[in-house]
Amino acid sequence: MSKSVFVGELTWKEYAARVAGGECVMMLPVGALEQHGYHMCMNVDVLLPTAVCQRVAERIGALVLPGLQYGYKSQQKSGGGNHFPGTTSLDGATLTGTVQDIIRELARHGARRLVMMNGHYENSMFIVEGIDLALRELRYAGITDFKVVVLSYWDFVRDPAVIEQLYPEGFLGWDIEHGGVFETSLMLALHPHLVDLDRVVDHPPATFPPYDVFPVDPSRTPTAGTLSSAKTASRAKGELILDVCVSGIAEAIGQEFPLTNGA
């Protein structure tokens, strides 16, 4: 049997054997194709949750589904805005429907445990809506034991000592991290060939009023597209984040989906 944790690398027979009985935890990274400044590629929000899922899956014996490559529209105060070339987004209903379709298919295969790992903040409520509609549909079909855990991997970096190591000059909040120290450090640890630190723009953190305006005024977003500078990003910080996220998420999944057959 294939040792891969990636569903797409298994045969259907291998997959069916793993999923039978519903105990195996399925993991679905949900990303976006979105600009991440002058210094990074545009599929960061897919690559990072996929890497975290892979490591967690190897630790707990889970399987990783192919990640969703597109996500909901970039918002100015969390992702710079949807006006950048390259940023390619779904309508909310499309993302919701995609999540709903995948859950229905997993249930048909026999899976009953799903972890959805979000890599793009703006996806959050559309994922939740897809889960809600899918579980409602399954309930009508008599399937009441399908459980979903939904999380954003950055929420597991909460320890003040870790935050202090990542941001010795002071933490400015997750909302303006887009393309900043956090994501860039993880990319340096995981995919360094997709980062060019020489192109990082050293700009002050973006500031926004406590409201949104539509249509978006692009001049309110720093020119590079990042909302804070990645100047102090490093591979060591990325490895620290990865450790914290993988162990925290593996523990949380163990609590939500305890082993029932001693496997």
Q: Does 45 bind Zn ion (CB under 5 A)?
A: yes
Active-site annotation holds for 109: no
Catalytic residue among 23, 39, 45, 177: 45
Judge contact between 66 and 106, C-beta under 8 A.
no
Task: Choose among 198, 251, 193, 204: nearest CA to 226.
Answer: 204
- In angstroms, the CA 92 to CA 82 distance is 13
For the sheet containing 63-64, what is the strand order?
A: 63-64, 25-30, 113-118, 147-152
Active-site annotation holds for 39: no
Active-site annotation holds for 83: no
Enumerate residues 219-248 that contact Zn ion by CB under 5 A: none
113 vs 120 by CB, closer to Zn ion: 120
Catalytic residue among 23, 39, 177, 183: 183
DSSP 3-state of 114: strand
With contacts defined by CB under 5 A, how many residues of the chain interact with Zn ion? 2
Judge contact between 85 and 115, C-beta under 8 A.
no
Judge contact between 64 and 5, C-beta under 8 A.
yes
40 vs 253 by CB, closer to Zn ion: 40
Catalytic residue among 23, 34, 39, 177: 34
CA torsion sign for 6, 61, 72, 204 is: negative
23 vs 45 by CB, closer to Zn ion: 45
Active-site annotation holds for 193: no
Backbone angles phi, psi at 76, to 5 degrees: -60, -40
CB of 8 to Zn ion, least distance (A): 23
Q: Applying CB under 5 A, which part among 43-51, 155-163, 166-174, 198-206 lies near Zn ion?
A: 43-51
Active-site annotation holds for 177: no
Active-site annotation holds for 178: yes
Catalytic residue among 91, 122, 164, 251: 122
Q: Applying CB under 5 A, which part among 45-53, 99-107, 194-202, 217-225 lies near Zn ion?
A: 45-53
Q: Does 44 bind Zn ion (CB under 5 A)?
A: yes
- In angstroms, the CA 119 to CA 109 distance is 26
Residues acting as catalytic residues: 34, 36, 45, 120, 122, 178, 183
Give me the residues that bind Zn ion (CB under 5 A), please.
44-45
